[in-house]
Amino acid sequence: MQSFTLAAPNGLDAATDAGGRGGRYIAGGTDLLQLAKDNVETPDRLIDLEPLPLTDITVTDDSLRLGAMARMSEVAAHPAVVARWPVISQALLASASPQIRNMGTIGGNLLQRTRCGYFRDTGFACNKRVPGSGCPAREGENRMLAILGTSEHCIASHASDLAVALIVLEASVDLRAPDGTTRTIPLAELHKLPGDTPHVETTLRPGELITAVAVPASRAGMRSHYLKVRDRASFEFALVSAAVAIDAGAGTVHDIRVAAGGVGTKPWRLPEVEEALRGHPLTPKTLADAAALAGQGATPATQNGFKQVLLRRAVLRALQTATA
Amino acid sequence: MLGATVTGLALAPQRSRADDTSPAPAPAAPVRSAEAVDIVLQVNGSPLPLTVEPRTSLLDALREQAGLNGTKKGCDRGSCGACTVHVDGRRVVSCLTLAVRAQGKAITTIEGLAVNGTLHPVQAAFVAQDGFQCGYCTPGQIMSAVALIEEGHAGSDAEIRSWMSGNICRCGAYPNIVAAIRDAAQEG
């Protein structure tokens, strides 16, 4: 691992000022230090976010606000999160290991890098790590990789479970720039498709810092569910995951949001499923017919075509569980 | 390559001896680099002054400088759990914890569990249930298990297995590890 300095800023101003001058933020460090040990990331100046007042979890009648430095384990166990936004708690508890969840943060989780093995091994070419070097994944080991949102330059899947849960809750992200200005964007606009610039993964501007995630309260959110399908029962990334939030009072679907993980180059909303359900009666047939539409436009690689079938089944199971 | 962080555990400790029966070696004289910083960690209730680089992991600080080599280095990437310690009462992997960020926090390692030579109930249960074979993952397993019981996640064998998933045992001693945790939780 390359040597680096670690600055402990005495406030948000100092932190984002240092970020604007090229320093890299470190939150829980569970992904960044893995990458640094493998020389995939080579930061020379780190900015420690731990001293900053960004750990609060605030609940009101209308919303949930998660400080960017709130720990995954604390958010997962928060009684209001469990009761009113269960998909968040379920997605977090399906993530990583207990030790990593005690370290990893909400902001860091959203910005974790892909698990594509070519990205994480500097012995290989990778357009995301070295722009223009090529993508061996397209003809190589791609069983775990994306089938939606891919480009000829990159098929890396996005690894966050939390992000999939948060986009069905239509969460937004509070950002702070080095000049002190703040803005709020929908989480759905944070991650970018790879296109021909797979190394540009988010819409964050240079030095911009995630300070919080805001989640509106909703009836659908209270009836939400996260299903994760993986190669072993725990401590593994998703082959396919499905997040559902649904309000189907009196047997009619009033509000429905569905998204998937493990299949997209970014957290993937499934409007084709939502449109087939919205305003329709909630019956086993409408659920099955809607789930069968999941994954339109998929472009599987050589080893991951099974994800198309698995996605449809995972979406159906998640819909059934959320409405049971 | 793919999945190497899970399956390719490099179980070669930094020193040739993996057992801890020998006296702790004298801390190596730190090589002072430009970035070196002087810190004081609180380890097992005692202050531990160290000189480290910002990139030094808590794991390396404990093993290579403090001579506390009960905490083990397996994958060094957060995947195996052999390096599990408690920081302010929470279990974490020390390989992905920077030593400088652990200042001002209460750190507990496997060496800090026994009281006056009496094994912690979880340690005693691992002995009674034969919860290990080679023993390399055992300190991490025990630190994780102690935290698991305090968290209230020992309600069933299935729950124990799920909440121990951050600790890998390549000997496959899992049934006895679960039995040891179940016994220790019931005793408590």
Q: What is the pLDDT along chain A (324 residues), one digit of tens a residue?
A: 999 999 999 999 999 999 999 999 999 999 999 999 999 999 999 999 999 999 999 999 999 999 999 999 999 999 999 999 999 999 999 999 999 999 999 999 999 999 999 999 999 999 999 999 999 999 999 999 999 999 999 999 999 999 999 999 999 999 999 999 999 999 999 999 999 999 999 999 999 999 999 999 999 999 999 999 999 999 999 999 999 999 998 899 999 999 999 999 999 999 999 999 999 999 999 999 999 999 999 999 999 999 999 999 999 999 999 999
Domain that holds residue A262: 219-319
Domain that holds residue B137: 121-187
Q: Which amino acid is present at A28? A: G
Set of chain A residues whose Cβ sits within 8 Å of the Cβ of B92: 99, 102-103
Percent of chain B with pLDDT over 70: 82
Domain boundary pick from B70, B87, B111? B111
Query: Assign residue A179 a region: left if phi > 0, alpha if psi is -120 to 50, beta otherwise?
Result: alpha
Nearest chain B Cα to A44, which residue? B55
Domain boundary pick from B111, B139, B170? B111
Claim to verify: residue B129 and residue B173 sit in the same structural domain: yes
- Cβ distance A128 to A288 under 8 Å? no
Nearest to A100 among B93, B147, B163 (CB): B93
Nearest to B96 among A2, A30, A234 (CB): A30
Give the pLDDT of residue A220.
98
- Domain of B150: which CATH number? 1.10.150.120
- Domain of A286: which CATH number? 3.30.390.50
The predicted model gives B62-84 an average pLDDT of 98
Nearest to A97 among B3, B35, B165 (CB): B165
List, as ranges, residues 217-236 from A with C-beta within 8 Å of B. 233-235
**pLDDT range class, residue B35, cuts 50, 70, 90:** confident
Parallel, antiparallel, or unpaired for β A24-26 and B106-108? Answer: unpaired
Counting the structural domains of chain A, the total is: 1
Claim to verify: residue B85 and residue B130 sit in the same structural domain: no
Residue B180 has pLDDT above 70, yes or no: yes
Set of chain B residues whose Cβ sits within 8 Å of the Cβ of A4: 35, 54-55
Cα(A105)–Cα(A211) distance, integer angstroms = 11
Mean pLDDT across chain B? 88
Owner of token pair 């996605």: A311
Residue B101 has pLDDT above 80, yes or no: yes
Q: How many residues does chain B have?
A: 188
Give domain status of residue A285, yes or no.
yes
List, as ranges, residues 27-86 from B with C-beta within 8 Å of A. 33, 35, 53-55, 57, 76-78, 81, 84
Give domain status of residue A15, yes or no.
no
Claim to verify: residue B91 and residue B145 sit in the same structural domain: no
Instruction: Tell which residue, A66, A64, A65, A67, has the closest CA to residue A52.
Output: A67
Nearest to A234 among B4, B33, B162 (CB): B162
- Domain of B88: which CATH number? 3.10.20.30
| Token pair recorded at residue A285 | 């047939």
| Token pair recorded at residue A255 | 């509000």
Instruction: Tell which residue, A211, A215, A203, A202, has the closest CA to residue A171.
Output: A215
Q: Which of B53, B55, B85 to mutate to test the interface with A (most CBs of A within 10 A)?
A: B55
Given an 8 Å threshold on Cβ–Cβ distance, is B35 in contact with A141? no
